[in-house]
Amino acid sequence: MGERVAQHVQNTILRDYCNKIRAEYLLSGTEYAMENSFLMLNELTNEIPKINGIVTFSLFQLPKEYSLRNNIYKNILMQNGELHFALEGLSIITNTDIKRIEDIWMVRQTLPKCPENIINTEKNERQ
Amino acid sequence: MNNKNLFLSNNENKICNKYLDQGYVVAPVVDIEALSWIRQKFIFIIREELCIPDNALDSDILNFTHESVSIPELNDFRLLVIKKINSLPDFRKKYYQVAKSYLDIIVGNELSMQLKINLSIQFPKDSSSLLPIHADTWSGDSPFEVVVWVPLVDCYETKAMYILPPDANQTLNNNFKKMAGNSSDDLYNSVQECVNWIEIKYGEVLIFNQALPHGNRVNEESETRWSLNCRFKGVFTPYADKKIGEFFEPITLKPASECGMKYSLPNITE
């Protein structure tokens, strides 16, 4: 979603999250920088069930398009894998978890159409 | 101020005016079962952690925690308790239920809620857990947020928290540089005559405007204060540094909003 966090900071947060959920942190995969590239994520998804799941830095690293996100969720869950989001401390472990994540996505994608600034009308009138 | 919105009931108008005038509302919890559920979970965790005998009264366990935990141990103990309580799946739902009827009036009924609820434990004479005077908006909170503050014990005098009322806050804002001095203590000293100490009992809930300066001082009473706090805001109101997903989560999206967010015009291209 257009934000950037230094990779070593992402790794620190991923490591810390894995400690918290008592998961073994294996190796960090870095997605290619090209817009809409999910090649590394797909590659990691194919590693399940050899690995238990995937921890992403943020849930907003997933594709912007719902159908692509949903494919990722289904792919991981079908293989009994888990998808975690370290920054948010949220996860998808069963089908029912998807709604929670998708509600956040929907609101996030709607917010640019909502008020972003506060206009103090009383103050403006006085000027 | 005595605004009367014709679309609201007398009680709703009263609550709205109180919030605007004082910057906060203290009101009895309607869903007392939800509050009792929360308190019992805390008591269970504390009994287990501190090996407290079965005959100890619940209120004593909370009010006299300082007799079982030392000040250097306090933060680790607090973190352990809050980690355990936040891991209970129903905890946030119960917390919302405690304040729901007032949030509906003050904020709205389509809400975002903080992902993790905070716990504050204030031992008597402990200066290590102080919250110096601040407004949350000064450190990146949106002014559209409110704090729901739930005490697990009766809070009075310095066992309570204080808040600067809106009119005094206006004076502070207009003279901030002069009044703030060189430290947060200078700032507190310049407004201490104006702050309201919020007396609140277990069974009541406090909803306050976090854009108003607030904090606590050393608890000079003989009992420990246990209180919880959590932020709520209208889901579609402006966010500041605390974003949707990493800090807030929509909890009560309405069907019309869901339909609207999923809506797209028919595609007329091949």
What digits encode the pLDDT tens for the residues B146-160? 999 999 999 999 999
Residue B142 in tokens: 């949106």
Chain B residues 141-170 within an 8 A CB cutoff of chain A: 143
Quick check: A111 and B244 CB within 8 A?
Answer: yes
Question: Is 90 exceeded by the pLDDT of residue B128?
Answer: no
What residue spans of A56-95 are helical by DSSP H? 66-78
The number of residues in chain B equals 270
Q: Which of A90, A110, A117 shows the shortest C-beta gap to B261?
A: A110
Chain A closest CA to B261's CA: distance in Å?
6
| Interface ipTM | 0.70
Cα B193 from Cα B92, distance rounded (Å):
36
What is the pLDDT at residue A18?
94
Question: Is 60 exceeded by the pLDDT of residue B27?
Answer: yes
Cα B236 from Cα A107, distance rounded (Å):
8
At B165-189, the pLDDT tens digits run 999 999 999 998 888 887 888 899 9
The number of residues in chain A equals 127
Tally of domains in chain B: 1
Cα B4 from Cα B1, distance rounded (Å):
10
What is the pLDDT at residue B177?
84
What is the pLDDT at residue A123?
61
Establish if B262 belongs to a structural domain. no
- Phi/psi for B148 (5° steps) reads -100, 120
What is the pLDDT at residue B180?
84
Q: Is A114 on the interface with B (CB under 8 A)?
A: yes
Establish if B101 belongs to a structural domain. yes
Domain that holds residue B205: 29-235
Quick check: B245 and A116 CB within 8 A?
Answer: no
Establish if B5 belongs to a structural domain. no
Query: Residues of B with CB below 8 A from A58's CB?
Result: 245-246
Q: Which of A60, A106, A117 shows the shortest C-beta gap to B238?
A: A117
Domain with residue B125: its CATH number is: 2.60.120.620
What value does the mean pLDDT take over residues B89-118? 97
Mean pLDDT of chain B: 94
Q: Which of A108, A116, A117 shows the shortest C-beta gap to B245?
A: A108
Suggest the residue from A85, A100, A103, A122 to mutate for an interface test with chain B (most B CBs closer than 10 A).
A103
Domain that holds residue A97: 7-126
Q: Is B246 on the interface with A (CB under 8 A)?
A: yes
Residue B16 in tokens: 């709205």
Quick check: A88 and B115 CB within 8 A?
Answer: yes
Residue A39 parent element (H or E) = helix A39-47
Q: How confident is the model at residue A122 (pLDDT cuts 50, 70, 90)?
A: low
Tally of domains in chain A: 1
Chain B closest CA to A63's CA: distance in Å?
15
Establish if B181 belongs to a structural domain. yes
What is the pLDDT at residue A127?
52
Query: Residues of B with CB below 8 A from A107's CB?
Result: 112, 235-236, 244, 250, 253, 261
Establish if B10 belongs to a structural domain. no
What is the pLDDT at residue A2?
61
CB B195 within 8 Å of CB B162: yes
Chain A residues 22-81 within an 8 A CB cutoff of chain B: 58-60
What is the pLDDT at residue B262?
92
Chain B closest CA to A78's CA: distance in Å?
24
- Say what percent of chain A tops pLDDT 70: 91
Q: Is A89 on the interface with B (CB under 8 A)?
A: yes
Q: Which residue has the tokens 């920054």?
A: A87
- Say what percent of chain A tops pLDDT 90: 55
How many other CB atoms are found less than 10 A from the CB of residue B229? 19
Suggest the residue from A64, A101, A104, A109 to mutate for an interface test with chain B (most B CBs closer than 10 A).
A104
Domain with residue A23: its CATH number is: 3.40.50.1390
Q: Considering the entire predicted model, what is its pTM?
A: 0.87
Residue B52 identity: I
What value does the mean pLDDT take over residues B191-215? 97
What is the pLDDT at residue A40?
82
Q: How confident is the model at residue A126 (pLDDT cuts 50, 70, 90)?
A: low
CB A55 within 8 Å of CB A86: yes
Residue B44 in tokens: 């269970």
Q: How confident is the model at residue A42 (pLDDT cuts 50, 70, 90)?
A: confident
What is the pLDDT at residue A111?
93
Q: Is B262 on the interface with A (CB under 8 A)?
A: yes
Suggest the residue from B137, B244, B264 to mutate for an interface test with chain A (most A CBs closer than 10 A).
B244
Cα A81 from Cα A10, distance rounded (Å):
22
Suggest the residue from A13, A106, A118 to mutate for an interface test with chain B (most B CBs closer than 10 A).
A106
Q: Which residue of A has its CA nearest to B116?
A: A89
Establish if A1 belongs to a structural domain. no
CB B228 within 8 Å of CB B117: yes
What is the pLDDT at residue A66?
93
